[in-house]
Amino acid sequence: MIPYNQSKLQFLTLWVITLTLVLASIFGFFPIFLRTIFVFGYVIFFGSLLGFLLLPKTNKFNIVIGSITWIALHIILLSGIYWFYQINVLTITGTIIILSCTIVLFLWQQQKNFSPYKKCIHANKLKQTSTIGKTPPNYHFTNRKKLSTFLVLFPLLGTFVLLTKLATLHFTDTLSSPWTIVGIRFFIIFFVTTMLLLWTTMKAKTNKILLWISILAYSVLIMSVAFLVFQYGYGFDPFIHRATESWIAIHGFITPKVPYYIGQYMLVVAMHLSTGLSIFSIDQILVPIGTALLLPSTVFFCLQDTINSDGMNHQEQLAISDETNELTKNQDDSSGFLFSAIIALFFLPLSWAISTTPYSLALLFASLTILWIWYEWGKSTFGTRMVAIILILATISIHALIGIPLTIIYVGAWFFEKNKQRWWSVTTYILILAFLLPFVFITALHAHLTNPLSSLSIFFSIFIPQHYEWLHNAPHIWQALYIYKYLIDPIVVIIALFGTLQLKKKQLTTATFFLWSTASGIFLSGFLMATTIHLTDIISYEAGNYAARMNQFALMILLPLFVYGLTKLFAWIKKCVTWQQIIIIIGISALLVISWYFTYPTRDAVSHYTGFSVRQADIDTVNFINTLNNGQHNYIVLTNQMVGAAALRELGFVPYLTMADGSKQYLYSIPTSGRLYKYFRDMVYKRPLHKWMDEAMDYAGVKKAYFVHTNYWAPAAKIRDRAKQTANHWWTIDNGHAWVFEYDQKN
């Protein structure tokens, strides 16, 4: 850390060393491990300076906001450079030099003390001075604190054990749910870990640093299951984005340049070129670990004032502090309640954050921005507004369909705060949010309007059991678990409403009303997009996807109210007698276990989920076909989307084929590639006939095609045997995990 009384010469020396190390890392002068450390050290150093510059009156936690904002600045600047030029080592170097020099010039011009830690050190000195002459701490209280500190080691140990278990799995075969390869003891350990962590945080008589480390480790555990278990990656969309990022990293850009997703691509590629880490590794952990670390930290930073003071102004706090020590005690208790609420934060359905996509990264940034809006309500400054604007611009560059409404939300927050609310202005704001994205889809994506009454089922499908969830035949205990799953969203809304009712101070009433109005507008937007907008390139089972995303966005908008409601809930629990506290904590821990279970795809007595991850057999299949054709790509492959994802991983973006209708499509059928995937569905759902392959070859303008069938696509044996009768040649891959059928075009 920089000493708070250091000279400008000392600071400039440290600045030069930090900048030199990160630039040397970019040009590959160190091993990957050191390059990664130096890059993250650069982010923390300059992030702390930016936090001090924009938020000079806040405490040491502004390093979190400063670092987030510093990363967002890089995303914005690199996105602009990429749009007009490209990204490479030189443009990344230029960006770093420009931003680091700019912040130092601002600090120098304003003659600021260069340490963001001076205020914290000064506060510690005041605290030490204020304790002189006062009664020493109670002996029993000290023993209780030592006992609580000892107890917090147990959840930390439990978290380490569970992470180690997950890290040793690395599954490469057919897997639809990560929970099918862990036993009941795994969940028992997680339950005990959760219970002990909730208990120690609620009591708040322990080492706060150790407690915070335990909370962050627990958060990492919750969000890291997918990338630890699925060795080749989880989901389908991430493979498309990784292929794009890999292409950009090699060539500097990809054409055609489109004004969306650029922000994520710039962040991942810049991290790859700077640290030397693989794009796959960075992309795997970016959103899951980012959510695990940034969301709890930002919640604590942005809500601690609300929790500690419950609406009291600074003068009221000083008055209480001068008379008694109750304020300090209450703040300690409130801090514990906030810690407990952060753990219970994972009641939220965070399935959107278990893998990295532009949507998930943008929603993470949007969630941080919503928390920031709450933090700066009634006390905005130039610095706080700059933080919000930077986060919003970064979100727009990552995913415009989240960033555009986020811009309207921030403008609406300013309007709500500065103006007396009337029914017509609130209604106008809600309607703007509701119609904004449908309007964008119609004008920019050439979507078609449909009759909303005929499409209501698409919207309601996101709230009812999925087609692969069969409740009626399941045991009662499993039915109860899935009923709870369907009630998670309403429970979150109820707790947020409870938090709203607890916020009685007038200066927060407008803020809570604003959040509910915003959530309503986003929710209506999802309804309109599901019922009135039709995109011809989206297959039927993805039609309600945008509505589901808006529903997730609406829930995250209520995050400040949800967390506040949780803190009040834990405050009430602490007033109960000990045996009641234990029973309630056990119940909450059990619910958190269940919520964690439903954060990831499930396959059990109720869920017959048929989605699968990329397997070693899929990768072997792609490489087999590629070798069979000597690396030439004048053929098409009709297969399911996970084999297509494996092709994106292994082959990247090979030259697209020009179809008969003039469109350019990938040689492997994927759901977004139009008619090729339709031909694959004909092969598996109708009958594997040569005529479907002939039609596909005519459409693609090629002479050879492959049909790849996997052993998990039922009825596997029946489809396999029929395809053998129609194919010109066929091969078995990995002892029957997949079959490759070759078709030559008939003359």
Q: List, for residues 517-565, the tens digit of each pLDDT value.
A: 999 999 999 998 888 877 665 554 455 678 889 999 999 999 999 999 9
List, for residues 267-290, the tens digit of each pLDDT value.
999 999 999 999 999 999 999 999
Confidence class for position 321, pLDDT limits 50, 70, 90? very low
List, for residues 352-364, the tens digit of each pLDDT value.
999 999 999 999 9
For the segment 573-597, the average pLDDT, to the nearest whole number, is 94
SS3 breakdown of the chain: % helix, strand, coil, rounded to 5? 70, 5, 25
Report how far Cα 27 is from the mean position of its chain's Cα atoms: 30
For a pLDDT cut of 70, what percent of the chain falls above it? 86
Q: Is residue 490 one of the residues assigned to a domain? A: yes
Q: Counting beta carbons within 10 angstroms of the beta carbon of residue 538, is it exposed (0 to 12), middle (13 to 18) or buried (19 or more)?
A: middle
Same domain for 310 and 426, yes or no, is yes
For the segment 294-305, the average pLDDT, to the nearest whole number, is 92
451 versus 649: which is more confidently predicted?
649
Mean pLDDT of the chain: 86
Tokens for 180? 């099918």
Highest mean pLDDT among 2-16, 314-328, 413-427, 468-482: 468-482
Report how far Cα 429 is from the mean position of its chain's Cα atoms: 27
Q: Rounded CA gap, 1 and 3, in Å?
A: 6
Adjacency order of strands within the sheet including 729-733:
636-638, 704-710, 738-744, 729-733
Same domain for 409 and 519, yes or no, is yes
For the segment 214-221, the average pLDDT, to the nearest whole number, is 95
The pLDDT assigned to 747 comes to 63
Same domain for 312 and 263, yes or no, is yes
Q: Is residue 135 one of the residues assigned to a domain? A: no
Helical H segments across 224-375, by residue range? 225-229, 237-251, 262-275, 279-309, 314-323, 326-344, 358-375
List, for residues 150-195, the tens digit of each pLDDT value.
677 889 999 999 999 999 988 888 888 999 999 899 999 999 999 9
Q: Which of these three, 541, 573, 599, is where a domain ends?
A: 599
List, for residues 363-384, the tens digit of each pLDDT value.
999 999 999 999 998 888 999 9
Tokens for 366? 């949007």
Q: Is residue 705 one of the residues assigned to a domain? A: yes
Same domain for 287 and 366, yes or no, is yes
The pLDDT assigned to 664 comes to 87
Question: What is the DSSP pairing of strand 533-534 with strand 448-449?
Answer: antiparallel
Q: Which of these three, 94, 124, 154, is where a domain ends?
A: 124
Number of domains in the chain: 3
Long-range interactions of 400-403: CB distance < 8 A, separation 24+: 400/259, 400/260, 400/440, 401/260, 401/359, 401/362, 401/437, 401/440, 401/546, 402/359, 402/362, 402/363, 402/365, 402/366, 402/553, 403/362, 403/366
List, for residues 662-696, the tens digit of each pLDDT value.
888 899 998 765 688 899 999 999 999 999 999 99
For the segment 11-36, the average pLDDT, to the nearest whole number, is 92
| DSSP helix/strand/coil, 59 | coil
Q: Is residue 731 one of the residues assigned to a domain? A: yes
Same domain for 306 and 407, yes or no, is yes
Q: Is residue 134 one of the residues assigned to a domain? A: no
Same domain for 587 and 463, yes or no, is yes
The pLDDT assigned to 316 comes to 44
Residue 613 has pLDDT above 60, yes or no: yes
Q: What are phi and psi of 637, to 5 degrees?
A: -130, 120
Q: Which residue has the tokens 């630039």?
A: 23
Its domain, for residue 275, covers 145-599
Q: Is residue 129 one of the residues assigned to a domain? A: no
Residue 424 has pLDDT above 90, yes or no: no
For the segment 214-234, the average pLDDT, to the nearest whole number, is 93
The pLDDT assigned to 58 comes to 65
Tokens for 527? 């309804």
Eight-state DSSP code of residue 418: H
What contacts 628, CB < 8 A, 6 or more positions away? none
Report how far Cα 135 is from the mean position of its chain's Cα atoms: 48
Same domain for 529 and 658, yes or no, is no
Tokens for 657? 């084929």
Q: Which residue has the tokens 């700077």?
A: 274
Residue 3 has pLDDT above 60, yes or no: no
Angle at 509 between CA 507 and CA 514, to 5 degrees: 115
Same domain for 156 and 300, yes or no, is yes
Same domain for 557 and 654, yes or no, is no
Same domain for 31 and 154, yes or no, is no
Confidence class for position 421, pLDDT limits 50, 70, 90? low
Residue 68 has pLDDT above 60, yes or no: yes
